[in-house]
Structure 1
Amino acid sequence: MAHAQEIQLQIRGIPDEESVDARDGPKAATGRSTRSSFRWWMTVLVDMLMVLCGTTVATLLGRLYFNSGGNSKWMATLTQSGGSPLLVVPLLLSPARSAEERRPAALKMVAIYAGIGVMIGFDNLMYSYALQYLPVSTFSLVAATQLGFNAITSRLINAQRFTALIANSVVVLTFSAAILGVGSSSDETSSNVPRGKYPLGFVLVLAASAVFALILSLFELTFEKVVRVRTARWVLRMQMHTNLVASAVSVAGLLASGDWRTIPGEMASFKDGRTRYVLTLVGTAVSWQAAAVGLVRLIMRVSSLFANVTCTLALPLVPVFAVALFGDRMTGIKIVAMLMAVWGFLSYMYQHYIDARRRAGAENAECRVCATRTGSHAVLPA
């Protein structure tokens, strides 16, 4: 009976919504209308813009905090997750959970929130140190290695399929970061980057990129194996709860390190005053949350690797703005590294395009076979 109902849906052109997986994108859209396909791609594009704009603005404001007199690594770490309470508003406005929706065990979700949240907190700390020790253009380009790390974690944890184009993307982006490391001695900027800290900053951003890649794969695994529901409500819940734990880690570090005592003096000595200090921190927190929500939505809709590839698309943007705002020099080495990063991104996107075309062809062939088998039946069983 179920098979007969499925055949009826196919003949009438009505989509079987229960069989649609948000991650499949073009695959799911093949059996639906052109409008549904267009809507899916537009949603993914919005998520990508959130990641690109949020990452670019947050990175630049984070560098501005240190350049204008800020010095607390724990405060900079807190801004990367401290905006999570803002997600309560869209969470309350999101559609209510249906009665049929699967509810994962509460204790299991608490453990996941706590584990991933602690990892996010310390990952943010490493990024904060690295951002202070590296020019923002170099920081953003070295962070491209997170795609290479994510390719490994996606393969081991999420069973991501490797192809020649994906391998090319990973290798090219890795060499892009390696070139920056070799040319670090010639990277002099007018930014307030501590001398002699470049190697430490380089190591920290590499370590942070590896942990970040692991976090993305764990998010995808959670949606796959535990939550098993792909809704906006669960995206917001995952993002808010893990970031609340990360914020608790940051606040604990801020209090334990004694950095909280320096905040009044930091505000007083901040360039252009206390108002700019507060606006810089608030702007950074909001930008990181916008980027993070877009990132988790892409993980839910497509994959962690696709979400990470989108992050690398910000690479051409950040160095250009850094040159204009902070006086970073766009050296020949950075230009080559940036071009290699763009090439790595395009390689992955082309592989995604090939996969989409292949899936669409397979689905169309399946539909033709189904139509051939059922075309002679005038009446189908109910």
Structure 2
Amino acid sequence: MVMLLAGGTVATLLSRLYYNSGGNSKWMTTLTQSGGSPLLAIPLLLTPPSPPSEDQERRPAASKLLVAVYVGIGVLIAVDNLMYAYALQFLPVSTFSLVAATQLAFNAVTSRLINAQRFTPLIANSVVVLTFAAALLGVGASSDGTSSSSTAPRGRYAAGFVLTLGAAAAFALILSLYELTFEKVVRARTPRWVIRTQMYTNLVASAVAVAGLLASGEWRTLPGEMASFRNGRARYVVTLAGTAASWQAALLGQVRLVARVSSLFANATGAVQLPLVPVFAVVLFGERMTGIKAVAMLMAVWGFLSYVYQHYLDGRRVAAAAGKAGGECCVCAARTASDAVSHAP
């Protein structure tokens, strides 16, 4: 959870710093969101393998199916990253981060359709509140100075808002597909399989980003972009490298939560960083913290707490039924119980 919150906050801020310091390549920004995937080889090598008994009980699907899944999810990740790259240039980072919270609402739909997620009044409340929080930002475009004082015209603000919504929907689908992959294809939720799945899908996304960078011709502008980058070439490289590493740390934490609990819980946990990004954006980039953003942040926090409380209630009920009260955390108890039911003969 710490990796998700810290990595997501740092990655979003560094991505905005790239644009603020003179960066302009959408495909380079797209690449940084998945290009750090080779770094996952380090934790993969350091993670001990699963006991032989577990590997025999749950053998993954055929290699061809795994490859097809990795390629499909990887291409979708690349498209999602490209939409985020455009959106982050068009929107202030505080507005971007709050509009992106709608991925939880989209994830509620995909989780219901793909993962058979159970809905309760508390979960529905979480989805509705987060959706209204993003809508509040959409109608309050002029309040953060974007429409008039910002260099981005109103048309670009609207495009950024729509692209962020599209990227949020795509990311929600990706998380649900990750959960489906662990359940039906990989048939395991061990740390090594989590790292493998994230690494291979992000390698595919990186290949798509590199192809887009070459095909678009943006690679020709990179030397000039590096030379004109504020505070020099070294900061350019450090910014991109830090962004790539931060995204992978955040995604590793999020995919791990998908495997341990559910895609919807992982998405809700990611919403905790919402109050952090706007605050840092105000301090680092001089963005205005308007009343609309403050209300949207409070609504986002309320939506997240509503979802967490539902998991707390589910965990207590499962633990009481299984006679394990106090034996494990509520979300892990819920996952253990659901796994036991799904794999019962």
Aligned counterparts of 1:124 and 1:137: Cα–Cα separation in 2: 18
Aligned counterparts of 2:27 and 2:205: Cα–Cα separation in 1: 11
Q: Partner amino acid for 1:225? A: K
Aligned counterparts of 1:341 and 1:269: Cα–Cα separation in 2: 38
Question: Does the 8 A contact of 1:51 with 1:295 survive in 2?
Answer: yes
- Other-structure match for 1:61: 14
- Other-structure match for 2:332: none
Aligned counterparts of 1:191 and 1:92: Cα–Cα separation in 2: 50
- Other-structure match for 2:240: 281
Question: Does the 8 A contact of 2:258 with 2:265 survive in 1?
Answer: yes
Aligned to 1:328, the other structure's residue is in SS state coil
Write the deviation string for residues 105-151 of structure 1: whole angstroms up to 9, x where unpaired: 10000000000000000100000000000000000000010000000
Aligned counterparts of 2:219 and 2:149: Cα–Cα separation in 1: 25
Offset at 1:239? 0.5
- Other-structure match for 2:331: none
Correspondence 1:104 to 2:61: yes
Aligned to 2:323, the other structure's residue is in SS state helix
Aligned counterparts of 2:66 and 2:73: Cα–Cα separation in 1: 10
Correspondence 1:351 to 2:310: yes
Aligned counterparts of 1:311 and 1:158: Cα–Cα separation in 2: 19
Question: Does the 8 A contact of 1:67 with 1:191 survive in 2?
Answer: no
- Other-structure match for 1:181: 138
- Other-structure match for 1:159: 116
Write the deviation string for residues 140-199 of structure 1: whole angstroms up to 9, x where unpaired: 000010000000000000000000000000000000000000101232169975223100
Aligned counterparts of 2:201 and 2:225: Cα–Cα separation in 1: 29
- Other-structure match for 2:47: 94
- Other-structure match for 2:76: 119
Equivalent of 2:2, from 49, 53, 56? 49
- Other-structure match for 1:302: 261
Change (3 A) 1:317 1:193: farther
- Bigger drift between 189-198 and 48-57 goes to 189-198
- Other-structure match for 2:188: 229
- Bigger drift between 209-218 and 97-106 goes to 97-106
Offset at 1:229? 1.1
Correspondence 1:80 to 2:33: yes
- Other-structure match for 1:210: 169
Aligned counterparts of 1:106 and 1:191: Cα–Cα separation in 2: 54
Change (3 A) 1:87 1:324: same
- Other-structure match for 1:249: 208
- Other-structure match for 2:97: 140
Write the deviation string for residues 293-342 of structure 1: whole angstroms up to 9, x where unpaired: 00110000000000000111100000000000011100011011111001
Q: Partner amino acid for 2:200? A: H
Question: Does the 8 A contact of 1:133 with 1:193 survive in 2?
Answer: no
Correspondence 1:342 to 2:295: no
Aligned counterparts of 2:263 and 2:47: Cα–Cα separation in 1: 23
- Other-structure match for 2:251: 292
Question: Does the 8 A contact of 1:135 with 1:193 survive in 2?
Answer: no
Aligned counterparts of 2:288 and 2:324: Cα–Cα separation in 1: 54
Q: Partner amino acid for 1:217? A: S
Aligned counterparts of 2:150 and 2:251: Cα–Cα separation in 1: 28
Offset at 1:61? 0.1
Aligned counterparts of 1:335 and 1:186: Cα–Cα separation in 2: 12
Percent identity at matched positions?
73
Question: Does the 8 A contact of 2:14 with 2:243 survive in 1?
Answer: yes
Write the deviation string for residues 188-246 of structure 1: whole angstroms up to 9, x where unpaired: 16997522310000000000000000000000001111111111110110000000000
Aligned to 2:273, the other structure's residue is in SS state coil
Offset at 1:93? 1.9
Aligned counterparts of 2:123 and 2:247: Cα–Cα separation in 1: 27
Q: Partner amino acid for 1:328? A: E
Structure showing greater radius of gyration is 1
Aligned counterparts of 1:365 and 1:72: Cα–Cα separation in 2: 53
Question: What are the equivalent positions in structure 2 for 1:318-337 lying under 5 Å apart?
Answer: 318-337=277-296
Question: Does the 8 A contact of 2:60 with 2:185 survive in 1?
Answer: no
Correspondence 1:195 to 2:195: no
Alignment length (residue pairs): 319
Write the deviation string for residues 234-279 of structure 1: whole angstroms up to 9, x where unpaired: 0110000000000001000000000000000000000000000000
The alignment yields a C-alpha RMSD, in angstroms, of 1.5
Correspondence 1:220 to 2:179: yes
Change (3 A) 1:299 1:191: farther
Question: Does the 8 A contact of 2:108 with 2:127 survive in 1?
Answer: yes
Runs of 5+ unmatched residues, structure 2? 326-345
Correspondence 1:171 to 2:171: no
